[in-house]
């Protein structure tokens, strides 16, 4: 075996080792992601306060997934109640944008103004959008429709 053959052999061994390491890392990542819900479920069952663990998991998932909320038909008298409920749960919910839509501009202006004052009073840091365009509300509603 020549010096060049030895170098080729070492290179091939290193490349295979690297490839095996990358595949192993990917398998471990997928296994970890698959095991997380199982572990959360078991931990919730074993916990002395299972509701707390479940609430923490739900809160974490909401912070990851919920950024905008669209209320279609926001000129309704139910909208201020909904806004009030959102403010009571603002620590648990991660609504970064609230879009209020109604086809009746006058009702939207009245109810939207009330909602804006309620949000300001409660220290809402997200954005509030009033719109009569369904396409604008539809962009936000792809996440959650009410």
**pLDDT tens digits, one per residue of 60-85:** 555 545 567 888 888 888 889 888 88
Answer whether residue 141 shows pLDDT above 70: no
The residue-averaged pLDDT of 13-36 equals 76
DSSP lists the bridge partners of residue 130 as 100
Tell me the CATH number at 131: 3.40.50.720
- The pTM of the full predicted model, rounded to 2 decimals, is 0.53
Mean pLDDT of the chain: 77
Same domain for 103 and 49? no
95 and 134 in a single domain? The answer is: yes
- Mean pLDDT along residues 15-30: 77
Predicted local confidence at residue 113, as pLDDT:
93
Tally of structural domains, the chain: 2
Return the percentage of the chain with pLDDT > 90, whole number. 12
pLDDT at 54: 63
Q: pLDDT tens digit string along 87-119? A: 887 776 667 788 898 999 999 999 999 999 999
Considering the domain architecture, whether residues 44 and 105 belong to the same structural domain is answered as no
Look at residue 146 and tell me if it is in a domain: no
Task: Tell me which residue range forms the domain holding 28.
Answer: 3-58
């Amino acid at each position: 075996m020549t010096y060049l053959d030895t170098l080729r052999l070492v290179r091939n061994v290193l490349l295979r080792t690297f490839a095996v390491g990358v595949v192993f890392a990917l398998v471990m990542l997928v296994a970890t992601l698959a095991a997380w819900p199982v572990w959360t479920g078991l931990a919730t069952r074993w916990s002395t306060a299972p509701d707390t663990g479940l609430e923490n998991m739900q809160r974490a998932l909401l912070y990851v997934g919920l950024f905008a909320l669209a209320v279609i038909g926001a000129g309704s008298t139910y909208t201020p109640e909904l806004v009030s409920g959102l403010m009571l749960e603002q620590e648990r919910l991660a609504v970064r944008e609230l879009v209020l839509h109604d086809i009746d501009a006058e009702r939207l202006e009245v109810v939207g103004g009330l909602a804006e004052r309620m949000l300001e009073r409660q220290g809402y840091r997200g954005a509030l959008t009033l719109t009569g365009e369904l396409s604008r509300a539809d962009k936000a509603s792809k996440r959650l429709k009410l």
